[in-house]
């Protein structure tokens, strides 16, 4: 009896112990799930902040160029000086004539000094040249300007012979590797080559655009890719992205990078790169089944039209919307003359021996009865494939978030796939947390190869490999060593801090508009508004589409009785920014809001990219953009202003002096 009782007691004790352990495990599991869910919510909010700010910046860029188009249509020059200024501003982006381009590419007249210890190139290029460049760039060496220009010259010659849509097959290589945006992050390219191997006759690569901007080593990426393109022309394929556009480069850093690295020959290098970009193919087809484009498609995408477009005519896709009648008629006359010349060549080929035939010209010569598309239709085809994004909803609508291209739904994807007998699309253009993402029933694949794009730990990079079965295999990576040492919580906290810092700068840049919006809800002038009204007012001003009520605890520290003292909150924003920049808060707000536009305008005026503009260019600029900036100045006032801001008295205006002028005028108002 005693023994049985003891056994029962032990059994009950064990059962109770197991039950308690099970309850504890359930509680821990619930706690962990809530913890992970909160982390995921924070990650998604952070992601939306970064993307909203990025796309708003792109929208500002296109708005600025729409304003340029408006000036083209409505600004009437009152003097020959103003006519010359307008001409330089808006025609400098047009296609460069062959003879003029040769002048920019006079690399043969450049001498490489004996003290130069960097890599040396000789043409035709060999695989050893490519590997030597990789090692040199790992050692932070710089390629001499002579070799850069020579490389660009040879790259341009090669690209001119390529079709608008490259056709490749998995029959001739083990697999095809597709890489997305790199955005000047050379370490990501190094890591891809380390993991996947260098381009070779058995290893084909497709790089899907956006090689440049934002990162600090865009030029090195171009040099490496162009070198491998010339060494393995059948195994390396480059698509054009929306950042392979000299007008976009003015805003996002590539122009500035080149001029800083090549102060003497930077202008020549930029002019050559501008022309090389417009010769990049627009798409790639793998086994006639997988279409690779940078951005996306629309309900009007026509691959037959894309095949025949003279792509080099579009040096900047941002400059396709409007043209002044004078410019349009000049283009029409040029086009007619080109058609006459083509017909003449067909009759007497001997007269065309001096002119180099390109792939696009050969297409036109062999298909004279093809439909005649307008320049506007051709421009929209290119704009859509470079700028568009997929959306989960059906249909196709204007991409108002980016300001260019469109949003296309799964029905649009299905229609294009069926029409051209495709299996799926590969595109890039959007940063994804895991480096890749499927949508539209796995018929659209986004691949993004720039890791840590927004901040260290924000996202992985990835590339995709396709064999003869066309089944995608992904490889993900983190190029930054610090990201590997961070826990998930540390990584999210670091990225979150960076995102909210950027968002507070955005809020501060719109202080005046926010103050007016808050006062509209404060009918009694109490200086307080509800948190709900705060969220509505903030969205009405910034239009970022963010969940402000969810973000409010990170942005509004205290709100007694569910109400916010909005002026105190705005003062706190100003104090935070002033601690970094010792400028009057009202002026600093204006600078934060307009700096990107002002810098873009300055670089457009600065045609030789010297970092300086003349007094006359400054004078014409302020007359031209006074309506855009809501600033009124008399002619004498502009003259006095230009003299007062030329601090070093060198007779030119640099960007800091240009910015100073803007501050002074705002201050006087």
Catalytic residues, by residue number, are 243
Other CB atoms within 10 Å distance of the CB of residue 264:
8
Non-local (6+) Cβ contacts of 242 within 8 A are 209, 210, 248, 294, 295, 317, 386, 387, 404, 429
Per DSSP, the three-state class of 416 is: helix
CA 594 to chain centre: 19
How far apart CA 348 and CA 335 sit, in angstroms, is: 20
For 196, counting Cβ atoms within 10 Å of its Cβ (0-12 exposed, 13-18 middle, 19+ buried), the class is middle
| Token reading at 649 | 């008295």
Q: Torsions phi, psi of 175, nearest 5?
A: -165, 165
End-to-end CA distance of the chain: 101
Non-local (6+) Cβ contacts of 590 within 8 A are 662, 663, 666
Q: Give me the sheet containing 424-427, strands edge to edge.
A: 165-168, 283-286, 290-292, 424-427, 444-447, 436-439
Per DSSP, the three-state class of 662 is: helix
| Token reading at 569 | 């909150």
For 617, counting Cβ atoms within 10 Å of its Cβ (0-12 exposed, 13-18 middle, 19+ buried), the class is buried
Length of the chain: 669
Other CB atoms within 10 Å distance of the CB of residue 546:
19
Nearest to 446 by CA among 187, 190, 195, 179: 179
């Amino acid at each position: 009896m005693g023994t049985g009782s003891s056994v029962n007691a032990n059994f009950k004790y064990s059962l109770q112990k197991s039950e308690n352990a099970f309850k504890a495990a359930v509680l821990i599991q619930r706690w962990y799930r809530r913890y992970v869910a909160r982390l995921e919510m924070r990650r998604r909010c952070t992601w939306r902040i970064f993307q909203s700010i990025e796309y708003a910046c792109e929208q500002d860029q296109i708005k600025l160029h729409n304003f340029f188009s408006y000036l083209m249509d409505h600004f009437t020059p009152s003097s020959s000086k103003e006519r010359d200024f307008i001409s330089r501003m808006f025609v400098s982006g047009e296609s460069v004539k062959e003879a003029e381009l040769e002048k920019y590419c006079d690399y043969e007249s450049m001498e490489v000094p004996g003290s130069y210890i960097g890599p040396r190139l000789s043409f035709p290029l060999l695989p050893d040249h490519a590997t030597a460049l990789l090692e040199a760039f790992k050692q932070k060496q710089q390629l001499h300007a002579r070799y850069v220009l020579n490389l660009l010259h040879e790259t341009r010659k090669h690209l001119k012979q390529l079709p608008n849509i490259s056709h490749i097959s998995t029959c001739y290589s083990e697999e095809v590797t597709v890489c997305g945006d790199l955005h000047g992050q050379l370490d990501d390219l190094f890591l891809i080559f380390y993991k996947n191997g260098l381009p070779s006759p058995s290893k084909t690569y497709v790089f899907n655009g956006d090689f440049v901007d934002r990162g600090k080593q865009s030029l090195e990426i171009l040099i490496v890719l162009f070198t491998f393109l010339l060494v393995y022309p059948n195994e390396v394929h480059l698509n054009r992205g929306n950042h392979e556009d000299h007008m976009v480069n003015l805003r996002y850093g590539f122009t500035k990078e080149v001029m800083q690295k090549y102060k003497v020959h930077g202008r020549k290098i930029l002019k050559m790169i501008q022309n090389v970009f417009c010769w990049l193919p627009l798409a790639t087809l793998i086994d006639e089944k997988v279409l690779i484009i940078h951005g996306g498609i629309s309900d009007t995408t026509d691959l037959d039209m894309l095949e025949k477009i003279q792509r080099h005519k579009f040096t900047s896709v941002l400059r396709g919307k409007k043209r002044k009648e004078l410019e349009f008629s000049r283009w029409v006359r040029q086009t007619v003359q080109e058609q006459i010349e083509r017909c003449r060549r067909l009759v007497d080929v001997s007269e065309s021996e001096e002119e180099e035939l390109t792939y696009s010209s050969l297409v036109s010569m062999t298909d004279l009865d093809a439909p005649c598309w307008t320049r506007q239709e051709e421009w929209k085809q290119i704009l859509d494939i470079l700028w568009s994004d997929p959306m989960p909803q059906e249909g196709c609508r204007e991409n108002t978030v980016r300001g260019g291209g469109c949003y296309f739904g799964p029905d649009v994807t299905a229609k294009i796939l069926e029409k051209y007998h495709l299996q799926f699309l590969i595109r890039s253009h959007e940063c994804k947390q895991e480096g890749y993402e499927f949508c539209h029933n796995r018929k659209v694949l986004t691949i993004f190869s720039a890791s840590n794009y927004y901040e260290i730990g924000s996202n992985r990079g990835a590339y995709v490999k396709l064999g003869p079965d066309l089944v995608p295999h992904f490889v993900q990576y983190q190029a930054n060593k610090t990201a590997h040492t961070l826990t998930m919580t540390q990584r999210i906290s670091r990225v979150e801090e960076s995102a909210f810092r950027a968002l507070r700068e955005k809020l501060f840049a719109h202080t005046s508009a926010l103050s007016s919006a808050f006062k509209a809800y404060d009918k009694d002038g109490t200086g307080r508004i509800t948190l709900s009204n705060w969220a509505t007012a903030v969205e009405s001003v910034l239009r970022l589409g963010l969940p402000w009520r969810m973000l409010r605890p990170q942005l509004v520290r205290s709100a007694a009785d569910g109400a916010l003292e909005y002026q105190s909150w705005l003062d706190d924003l100003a104090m935070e920014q002033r601690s970094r920049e010792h400028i009057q808060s009202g002026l600093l707000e204006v600078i934060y809001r307009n700096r990107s536009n002002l810098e873009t305008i300055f670089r457009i005026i600065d045609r030789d990219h010297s970092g300086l503009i003349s007094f006359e260019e400054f004078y014409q600029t302020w007359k031209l953009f006074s309506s855009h900036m809501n600033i009124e100045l008399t002619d004498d006032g502009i003259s006095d202003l230009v003299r007062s801001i030329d601090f070093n008295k060198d007779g030119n205006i640099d960007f800091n002096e240009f910015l100073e002028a803007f501050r002074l005028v705002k201050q006087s108002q």
